[in-house]
């Protein structure tokens, strides 16, 4: 395929170009209330061309090889239009030339499992969950995504990398009369089909939470001292902090640049935040980004001080910082943008028991149910939680929404747990969906966050 | 494609073929500077077959082997999505109702020049960060089935989005226009945005408690997501929609009428047929507060024992048809936005909702943290509310006191009106 890409771009006379062709095979089984709604296996493919011409960077996506000539013409025209109209000149930061082939590291390859077996597995989870007390509905989806990416650039890099993502996710709804309570489940990862096998106990735990929520009290609105569980810690780290570590966002928001200047102390001394997509076997693993740059571990915050940022080659050059390999596209329909790989708060030294003892009275906040930010403000839903009294989990609470401010919260972290969990199914939606966006962390005690409710 | 459909017909009882071809362009200015000019050329097709009352599905962007695609669809049907419905018979049409050839003639240089003029207008009046983006394109799609359906449509779209960013944040005030034809943001709209931006420099901390809330069309549109989820036949069939078994009941204020109008060609989703070939229709979901109708595609119509309503749409070639509402409208009320503001002593105007998608549709609960204006006792906005959470349910919000007589087009396919509501902040 690399040969075809070379032929396709042979006549291209520009300062720099890169072209990515990829195939994407998706197998899905989706069930809604015990019925199959989707069961298919499909392949899509397409091309993304970027050209740097007269100092301007333009991209074109196209789906058929016979469109290549028109796409090249359009990309060059777009670059010329940008240059002629005073677009800020761009250049890529220097990056090593790479020639490499990366096969997906899989324990059990989902491509070797039949669609019928995937359907049986999905049905088995659905049946198991429906058999539990008070469970009124189960929506469950199995999916595996195989991306085979071929990357070529004008500097001589030629990379073929495979990425395989396996996931099983859905919603479980418990019902008692007019009251219903949903809880989510999600298993999966980047290292194979075994991630979704034998997870019955995890599924049952979620069903029990849903049923228990029917007896839970709605949380009372107010400001609380609280412990965030690892999953909620991960959402906070990703949504509230992580996006402000993405260089394109900082670049596009001049007023944020000062606040997010490297060297600025924004968090408490104990707080270390890292993005490390190189950790093997976690959801966000990859070797090269969609600019052909090897991804590296980035210490984003060290002892509360901003120490790093996530870059593509162009933001790195513009800001005079080191490339990091974080230019990622959802698939062949998109040009890459700066994305997190695997972001987390580094574990501290305290057990959950020690955090609960230090909390005394407050809230324990469980798994997230969505999250959103506008600027430094964030709102996260939680699937469940508990009131904490005298350092012990007391009654379960429901209908929890957290609202807060990034900068205040970073300074409000008081203790960091020594446990550590990473998310198994991703779905960051920064313009494009990144199903391998991974986040997590330990339990964290926060001195003050606002909870909405009655 | 004829060959593909022929192969499919030989291997299944029914089949339909959906195909698309589109080209699109975008221009982005960031902080007043030209940043991006990108393009996309896209095409593909999907095949649905029905065999032994089971549906199978396959799609491709490059049809190299029709036989293999049919095989894929058959494999999918063997694993079983129930399909006891009939695909529409003998519907034939070529639609061009949401197409403006001007979009094909647009010159990127001219658009950039116009964008620069707009930026110049704003920069002369404020030093706020001003972002601007434009996008436009032409889309062709078609549907053929083994029962004789042969439909095609061509559509155009154009959108423009302008935002003033609050310092130190990524959030801001925005306005936008979109439709079938090239459109623009007027100086009057920019003046209003700039004036509001100036007011927002003052930050207000509202008291905790119940107070009147006006939902601006932008936030009302978001609020309606919960209602749309409740209308979804999948949620009704599952028994988890709060509208389950409540057809004919009065649930909302009698001032609230929510409907779809496929014939409103100012909205770019206007169409006479859905993506399954079923004729679309005017549908009142909520009429004067009474729950009237469930939108349905072929699958859910059969499951619920009702007639399909022409609401079977696809989000692209990668997806089977699913139920969607489109070209939706809230019918107008009697007061203008100004009159609504003047009628309350103090309260909030919600311009945008953050986190409103988080909660659970069965309760239609809304909780949001971004409320933009506070109103003083004299009926004027006095500042921007920050770090605020608004709590309530969509049901409550739709038991609205008033609905404005003014309207605003939201994105391509929905019109919303400002609504007035008492909630807590």
Q: Which residue of chain B has the CA closest to A40?
A: B76
Quick one: pLDDT at residue B94? 78
Q: How many Å lie between the alpha carbon of A301 and the closest alpha carbon of chain B?
A: 19
Side-chain-side CA neighbours of residue A400 (13 Å): 30
Q: Residue B368: pLDDT above 60?
A: no
Interface test with B, best of A39, A239, A243, A427 (most B CBs within 10 A): A39
Contacts of A205 (CB under 8 A, 6+ apart): none
B240 or A453, greater pLDDT: B240
Three-state secondary structure call for residue B9: helix
CA-closest candidate to residue B53, choices B84, B16, B74? B84
- Phi, psi of A368, rounded to the nearest 5 degrees: -75, 155
Contact A374 B171 (CB under 8 A): yes
> Are the C-beta atoms of A235 and A439 separated by less than 8 Å?
yes
Buried b (16+ CB within 10 A) or exposed e, A212-234: bbbebeebebeebbbbbbbbbbb
A107/chain B closest Cα distance in angstroms = 26
Mutation to test the B interface, candidates A142, A379, A407, A408, most B Cβ within 10 Å? A379
Distance from C-alpha of A257 to C-alpha of A251, rounded to nearest angstrom: 7
Q: How confident is the model at residue A202 (pLDDT cuts 50, 70, 90)?
A: very high
CA B211, CA B399: separation in Å to the nearest integer? Answer: 15
- Give Cα separations from A89 to A49, A244, B31, B152 (angstroms): 19, 23, 15, 43
- The token duo for A146 is 């195989």
H or E, element range at A72? helix A68-84
Question: Does the beta carbon of B206 lie under 8 angstroms from any beta carbon of chain A?
Answer: no
The burial class, CB within 10 Å (0-12 / 13-18 / 19+), for A452 is: buried
The residues, ordered by sequence, that sit 6+ positions from A112 with a Cβ below 8 Å of its Cβ are none
Closest in A61, A87, A253 to B170, CB measured: A253
Nearest to A450 among B80, B368, B389 (CB): B389
**Structure tokens, B35:** 């940043």
Chains A & B: contacts with CB separation below 8 Å? 240
Which residues does chain B have within 8 Å of residue A378's beta carbon, measured at their own beta carbons?
Answer: 355, 369
CB contact under 8 A, A401 and B355: yes
Among B35, B41, B107, most A C-beta atoms within 10 A, so best to mutate, is B41
Give CA–CA dist A130/A121, Å, rounded: 14
Using pLDDT thresholds of 50, 70 and 90, give the confidence band for residue B394: low
| Beta-sheet pairing, B312-313 with B371-375 | unpaired
**Chain segment B263-322, per-residue pLDDT in tens:** 888 777 889 999 999 999 999 999 999 999 999 999 999 999 999 999 999 988 988 899
pLDDT tens across B198-211, in order? 988 888 877 777 78
pLDDT (tens digit, 9 = 90+) per residue, A93-152? 999 999 999 999 999 999 999 999 999 999 999 999 999 999 988 999 999 999 999 999
Tell me the C-alpha distance between A17 and A78, whole Å. Answer: 13
Using the beta-carbon criterion (under 8 Å), do B365 and A381 form an inter-chain contact?
Answer: no
Residue A391 to residue A385: CA distance in whole angstroms:
14
Q: Which of A57-66, A246-255, B101-110 has the lowest mean pLDDT?
A: A246-255
| Residue-level pLDDT at B337 | 78
Whole-number Cα distances in Å, B268 to B82, B137, B138: 32, 12, 11
Q: How far is A208 from chain B (nearest CA, A)?
A: 18
Query: CB-based contact (8 Å) between B315 and chain A?
Result: no
Return the domain boundaries, chain A: 2-215, 218-452
CA-based nearest residue in chain A for residue B132: A252
**Residue A418: which residues within 8 A CB-CB, separation 6 or more?**
A347, A348, A349, A350, A351, A442
CB contact under 8 A, A60 and B352: no
Asked if residues B42 and B20 have their Cβ atoms less than 8 Å apart, the reply is yes
Ordered by where they begin, the domains of chain B are: 2-198 (3.30.2290.10), 202-424 (no CATH)
Inspect the interface and report whether the beta carbons of A85 and B386 lie closer than 8 Å.
no
Give the residue on B whose Cα is nearest the Cα of A72: B39
pLDDT range class, residue B365, cuts 50, 70, 90: very low
Which of A23-27, A182-186, A212-216, B329-333 is predicted with the least confidence, judged by mean pLDDT? B329-333
Residues of chain B positioned with their CB less than 8 A from the CB of A142 = none
Is B44 in the A-facing interface, judged by CB distances under 8 Å?
A: yes
Does the pLDDT of residue B360 top 50, yes or no? no
∠ CA A141-B302-B330, nearest 5°, is 85
Residue of A57, A60, A370 with shortest CB distance to B40 = A60
Taking residues A328-340, what's their average pLDDT?
93
Q: What is the mean pLDDT of residues B109-119?
A: 96
Contact residues, chain B, for A85 at CB < 8 Å:
34, 109, 112-113, 116
Confidence of residue A453 (pLDDT cuts 50, 70, 90): low
Residue among B354, B394, B397 nearest B372 (CA): B354
Of B56, B61, B169, the CB nearest to A63: B61
The DSSP string of A342-411 is EEEEPP-SB-HHHHHHHH-SEEEE-SEEEEEEETTEEEEEES-EEEEETTEEEEEEESEEEEEEHHHHHT
- Cα B26 to Cα B38: distance, rounded to the nearest angstrom: 5
Q: Is the ipTM of this complex over 0.95?
A: no
pLDDT score of B371 more than 90: no
Residue B369 has pLDDT above 60, yes or no: no
Interface touch B34/A29, C-beta < 8 Å:
no
CATH number of the structural domain A2-215 = 3.30.2290.10
Mean pLDDT over each residue of chain B, to the nearest integer: 85
* pLDDT for the residue B377: 61
CB contact under 8 A, B166 and A375: yes
**pLDDT at A199 (0 to 100):** 96
DSSP state of A94: P
Residue B144: pLDDT over 80:
yes
C-alpha span between A150 and B263 (Å, rounded): 45
Cα B337 from Cα B404, distance rounded (Å)? 6
For B398-421, what is each residue's pLDDT tens digit? 666 666 666 655 555 566 666 665
Look at B72 and A41 and tell me if their CB atoms are within 8 Å.
yes
Which of B41, B57, B129 is nearest residue A67 as measured by Cβ atoms?
B41
Measure CB to CB from residue A401 to each of B56, B62, B358 and give the nearest one: B358
* Among A44, A136, A380, beta carbon nearest to B240: A136
- Residue B364 CA to residue B80 CA, distance in Å, equals 33
Total count of residues recorded for chain A: 454
Q: CA nearest B362 in A: which residue?
A: A180
Unique residue bearing structure tokens 């570590």:
A245
A375/B170 touch (CB, cutoff 8 Å), yes or no: yes
- Chain B, 105 to 134: residues with Cβ < 8 Å from chain A are 108-109, 112-113, 116, 129, 131
User: Bridge-partner residues for A365, per DSSP?
Assistant: A228, A385
Mean pLDDT for chain A? 93
Contact assessment for residue A454 and residue A374, using Cβ atoms and an 8 Å cutoff: no
Query: Do B42 and A78 count as a contact with CB atoms less than 8 A apart?
Result: no
Tokens for B60, please give them: 């491709």
Task: Read off the tokens for A153.
Answer: 């650039």
Q: Write the residue in A60, A85, A116 that is nearest to B109 by C-beta.
A: A85
CB crowding B74-94: b at 16 or more within 10 Å, else e = bbbbebbbebebebbeebebe
Rounded to the nearest angstrom, the minimum Cα separation between A185 and chain B is: 15
């Amino acid at each position: 395929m690399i040969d075809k890409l070379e032929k396709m771009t042979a006549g291209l006379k520009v300062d720099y170009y890169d072209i990515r062709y990829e195939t994407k095979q998706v197998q899905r089984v989706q069930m809604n209330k015990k019925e199959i709604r989707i069961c298919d296996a499909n392949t899509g493919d397409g091309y993304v061309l970027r050209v740097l011409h007269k100092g301007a960077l333009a991209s074109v996506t196209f789906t058929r090889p016979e469109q290549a000539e028109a796409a090249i013409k359009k990309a060059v025209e777009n670059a010329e239009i940008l240059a002629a109209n005073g677009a800020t000149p761009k250049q890529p930061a220097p990056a090593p030339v790479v020639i490499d082939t990366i096969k997906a590291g899989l324990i059990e390859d989902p491509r070797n499992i039949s669609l019928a077996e995937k359907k049986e597995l999905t049905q088995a989870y659905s049946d198991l969950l429906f058999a539990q007390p008070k469970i009124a509905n189960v929506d469950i989806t199995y999916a595996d995504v195989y991306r085979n990416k071929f990357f070529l650039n004008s500097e001589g890099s030629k990379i073929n990398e495979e990425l395989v993502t396996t996931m099983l996710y859905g919603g479980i709804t418990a019902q008692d009369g007019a009251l219903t309570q949903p809880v989510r489940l999600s298993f999966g990862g980047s290292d194979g089909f075994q991630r979704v096998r034998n997870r019955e106990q995890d599924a049952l735990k979620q069903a029990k939470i849903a049923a228990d929520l029917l007896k839970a009290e709605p949380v009372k609105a107010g400001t609380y001292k609280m412990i965030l569980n690892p999953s909620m810690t991960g959402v906070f780290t990703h949504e509230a902090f992580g996006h402000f570590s993405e260089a394109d966002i900082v670049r596009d928001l001049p007023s944020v640049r000062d606040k997010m200047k490297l060297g600025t102390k924004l968090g408490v001394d104990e707080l270390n935040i890292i993005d490390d997509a190189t950790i093997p076997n976690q959801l966000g693993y990859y070797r090269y980004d969609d600019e052909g740059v090897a991804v590296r571990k980035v210490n984003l915050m060290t002892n509360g001080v901003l120490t790093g940022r996530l870059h593509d080659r162009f933001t790195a050059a513009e800001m005079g910082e080191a490339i990091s390999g974080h230019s990622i596209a959802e698939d062949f329909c998109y040009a890459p943008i700066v994305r997190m790989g695997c972001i987390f708060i580094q574990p501290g030294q305290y057990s959950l028991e020690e955090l609960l003892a230090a909390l005394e009275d407050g809230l324990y906040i469980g798994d997230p149910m969505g999250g959103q930010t506008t600027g430094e403000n964030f709102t996260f839903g939680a699937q469940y939680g508990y009131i904490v009294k005298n350092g012990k989990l007391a009654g379960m609470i429901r209908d929890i929404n957290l609202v807060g401010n990034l900068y205040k919260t970073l300074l409000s972290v008081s203790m960091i747990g020594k446990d550590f969990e990473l998310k198994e199914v991703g779905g960051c939606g920064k313009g494009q969906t990144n199903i391998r966006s991974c986040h997590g962390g330990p339990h964290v005690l926060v001195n003050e966050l606002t909870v909405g409710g009655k | 494609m004829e060959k593909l459909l022929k192969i499919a017909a030989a291997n299944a009882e029914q089949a339909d073929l959906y195909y698309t071809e589109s080209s699109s362009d975008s221009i982005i200015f960031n902080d007043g500077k030209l940043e991006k000019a990108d393009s996309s050329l896209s095409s593909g097709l999907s095949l649905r077959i029905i065999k032994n009352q089971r549906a199978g599905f396959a799609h491709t962007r490059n049809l190299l082997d029709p036989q293999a695609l049919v095989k894929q669809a058959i494999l999918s049907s063997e694993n079983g999505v129930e399909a006891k419905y009939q695909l529409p018979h003998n519907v034939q049409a070529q639609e061009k109702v949401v197409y403006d050839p001007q979009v094909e003639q647009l010159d990127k240089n001219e658009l950039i020049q116009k964008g620069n003029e707009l930026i110049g207008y704003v920069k002369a009046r404020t030093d706020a960060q001003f972002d601007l983006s434009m996008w436009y394109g032409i889309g062709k799609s078609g549907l053929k089935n083994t029962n004789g359906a042969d439909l095609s449509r061509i559509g155009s779209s154009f959108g423009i989005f302008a935002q003033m960013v609050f310092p130190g944040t990524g959030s801001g005030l925005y306005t936008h226009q979109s439709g079938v034809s090239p459109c623009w943001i007027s100086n009057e709209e920019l003046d209003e945005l700039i004036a509001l931006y100036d007011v927002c420099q003052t930050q207000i901390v509202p008291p905790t408690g119940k107070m009147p809330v006006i939902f601006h069309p932008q936030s009302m549109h978001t609020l309606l997501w919960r209602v749309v989820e409740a209308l979804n036949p999948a949620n009704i069939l599952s028994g988890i929609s709060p509208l389950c078994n409540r057809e004919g009941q009065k649930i909302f204020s009698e001032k609230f009428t929510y409907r779809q109008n496929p014939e409103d060609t100012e909205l770019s989703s206007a169409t006479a047929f859905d993506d399954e070939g079923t004729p679309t229709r005017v549908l009142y979901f909520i009429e004067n507060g009474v729950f009237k109708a469930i939108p349905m595609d072929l699958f859910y119509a059969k499951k619920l024992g009702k007639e399909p309503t022409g609401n079977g749409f696809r989000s692209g070639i990668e997806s089977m048809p699913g139920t969607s509402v489109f070209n939706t409208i809230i019918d107008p009320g009697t007061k203008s936005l100004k009159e609504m503001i003047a009628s309350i002593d103090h309260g909030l105007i919600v311009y945008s909702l953050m986190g409103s998608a988080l909660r659970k549709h069965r309760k239609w609960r809304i909780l949001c943290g971004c409320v933009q204006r506070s109103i003083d006792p004299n009926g004027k906005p006095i500042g921007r509310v920050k770090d605020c959470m608004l709590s309530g349910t969509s049901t409550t919000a739709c038991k609205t006191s008033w609905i404005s007589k003014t309207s605003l087009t939201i994105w391509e396919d929905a019109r919303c009106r400002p609504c007035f509501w008492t909630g807590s902040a």
